[in-house]
Amino acid sequence: MELLERSLVDVADAVRKGQVSALDLAEAAIARIERDDTGSHLDFDPARTRAMARAVDEKRARGQALGALAGVPLGLKDVLCTKDARTTCASKILDGYRPPYDATAVARLRAADAVFTGKLNMDEFAMGSSNENSAYGVVKNPWDPTRVPGGSSGGSAAAVAAGLALGTLGTDTGGSIRQPAALCGVVGVKPTYGRVSRYGLVAFASSLDQIGTFAADVRGAARLLEVIAGHDPRDSTSVARPIDEWVAACGTDVAGLRLGVPREYFEEGLDADVRASIGAAIESLRGLGCTIVPVEMPHTKYAVATYYVVATAECSSNLARFDGVRYATRVDSKDLESMYGETRDRGFGAEVKRRILLGTYVLSAGYYDAYYSKAQKVRTLIRRDFDRAFEQVDAIVGPTSPSVAWPLGAKVADPLQMYLADVYTLPASLAGLPGVSVPAQPGASGLPIGLQIVTPAWSEARMFSLAHAFEQVSPAKGLRPRRA
């Protein structure tokens, strides 16, 4: 078996034992990236990757203990600050920007002896569901290059699916890890809000943004989360909670768990292939000894509207800092006000501008109570739907995305249809709950479909246990797109 076809956890263990060289792993990843045509990477520096790998091998040669990610090739979504590589957020306004520090999650990966393959493509400032909003080109789905990989972490999902890295970090504001994981046939994890520090994550919507993990299997995604999770005093939203052994949770018995199936997740708008696949997945979980319980989530239908008020309001505030004064891009003009306007006009893409305008509108005098204040109240109702459901069940299961990956360009001209691609991931995001997408039975076209599992806050161990149990019986287990 090729090095990059092995499990992330097994590879890290093999490097620690001296059975595999970190440099050999790096060379395998570099060779694949150099012939890759998915458009996943925005920053790729083979010399930097080799230097990190050599440092791991030299550390082992000195007899020093290696970290939990020893020698593992990992990619980073380009919204995470890195002191040794550009961080552009896939936007022209940050073209060439190099931060002076690492994000906390990135620093923790370094401390665990991971090896970085580069920075990964994304929708600009994490705003999008298809990775077609990047200022530096679209990402293609490794299963079918005529189709989208999902977004906004499309490069992160595609890199794992294409075998360019054993794992990646992404971010999830409304589904931007789980949805591309489903469309690319990999595992994608959004932890509980506050579980992972957001320090060094370029903010889109601060009450929603979260850093999470991608891997080819559940154990790999769990190992990555074990490394990056934990309290950080530099992030006021970071919570001091114990970090369970999530890899160890994979393989525990799930018999007796009660799984809620919301009626609202199986109504109009769900593709027939996805409906059939998720129905079969739920029956597989029943076969593992789980009890299936119908539940109602009546405010689900308001999740898209609520999200696009709350998220755009926070976006308009957070992105005000990109004005041509402090960061990378500046358009010189006749006066300060013109410089602000021209820099932002040329630096931001169409979708980012759309969201800034929407957010400014809903926060404006006379409209704040009608839109933003009301959306926050509905957000509370959505969270209470989960609270009531979790009084009856241990987890909620359903589709991750209403469809398989769609053709490139198919929804670009219709923002509403694009926004609806996240209809099943948005509720858990608004409630701050942990969720994972695990590959289920592919559709008739052969394209991936994801099962979403959502559990109560701080119950990632249960989430990983269920995800791993399903993974073992899923017809998608071991399926990979054809490699270049």
Q: In what order do the strands lie in the sheet with 435-439?
A: 41-43, 115-120, 73-77, 167-171, 211-215, 187-190, 435-439, 450-454, 395-399, 258-262, 291-295
Q: Residue 350: exposed, middle, or buried by beta-carbon count in 10 A (0-12, 13-18, 19+)? A: exposed
CB of 481 closer than 8 Å to CB of 185: yes
Q: How many CA atoms lie within 13 A of 252 on its CB side?
A: 14
176 catalytic per annotation: yes
437 catalytic per annotation: no
152 catalytic per annotation: yes
What does DSSP say about strands 211-215 and 167-171: parallel, antiparallel, or unpaired? antiparallel
Q: How many CA atoms lie within 13 A of 202 on its CB side?
A: 29
Q: What is the DSSP letter of 141?
A: B
> Which of 227, 239, 173, 258 has its CA nearest to residue 462?
258
CB of 263 closer than 8 Å to CB of 294: yes
Residue tagged active-site, from 176, 238, 429, 459: 176
Facing residues of 73 across strands? 115
Q: CA-CA distances (angstroms) from residue 27 to 16, 48, 54, 304, 353?
A: 18, 12, 11, 43, 40
Residue tagged active-site, from 77, 92, 140, 411: 77
Phi-psi region of 199 (alpha: psi -120 to 50; beta: other; left: phi over 0): beta
Facing residues of 80 across strands? 201
Residue tagged active-site, from 152, 401, 429, 465: 152
Catalytic annotation, residues: 77, 152, 176
